[in-house]
Chain A
Amino acid sequence: KAGVTQTPRYLIKTRGQQVTLSCSPISGHRSVSWYQQTPGQGLQFLFEYFSETQRNKGNFPGRFSGRQFSNSRSEMNVSTLELGDSALYLCASSLARNPGAGEQYFGPGTRLTVT
């Protein structure tokens, strides 16, 4: 079974621009979560989508948004990029319907560099 895929793998953007990242979950998985990973802050939860609905959100500003499509694919958008948004953005998918359980499987990530 194919794993979680993320595109693009690498991205370089300029401050003030916006960016859209894409994630395709493991076949049959309907939950998709997004994380930001930086050396200083570690892995931080952005949001989770299940059946096209955002059912959980982390403590990130409104510049960070996401959505999920009917085929469970998800996109994450960051507007008005700042230097501090440079990070590895990871997508994880899960089979669990119950948000209280469920093992998450990570994609390879998108490395975003903001200059």
Chain B
Amino acid sequence: QKEVEQNSGPLSVPEGAIASLNCTYSDRGSQSFFWYRQYSGKSPELIMSIYSNGDKEDGRFTAQLNKASQYVSLLIRDSQPSDSATYLCAVKGNFNKFYFGSGTKLNVKP
């Protein structure tokens, strides 16, 4: 079992819709959770961090964390074609190591 699991996609949504990206993790003791966006040929860019249960909003992005279910999600409201990228979920788990999911590719269609 991988430490962090993501659906590889692609997830296709129309422009203006809400994109919902999901991630599960295996280490129940994990405390820090992050979402990164990676455009093709570029390095990952930090979008959000979340440390406690509940929702955290930043502009069009909302991160949701449920530690009991070991589940993290990222919602992108009013999706734009420029949001088309691969979204990586990262978890800081046991022994303080970062684990990354394989990423979900998002396509936002104009």
Contact = CB atoms under 8 A, between A and B. Distances in A.
Interface of A: 33, 35, 42-45, 55-56, 58, 88, 90, 99-109
Question: Size range of the interface on B?
Answer: 20 to 34
A83 to B, nearest CB: 22
5 contacts: A43-B44, A45-B100, A55-B96, A101-B31, A103-B49
B88 A104 contact: no
A102 B45 CA distance: 14
A18 to B, nearest CB: 24
B96 A99 contact: yes
Nearest to A94: B98
Interface in B49-103: 49, 51, 88, 90, 92, 95-103
Contacts of A44: 100
A55 B103 CA distance: 26
A56 B49 contact: no
A56 B44 contact: no
B96 A90 contact: no
SS of A interface (majority): strand
Contact of A100 (B36, B45, B92, B102): B92
A106 B45 contact: yes
A101 B92 contact: yes
B17 interface: no
Nearest to A102: B32
Contacts of B25: none
Contacts of B98: 33, 35, 45, 104
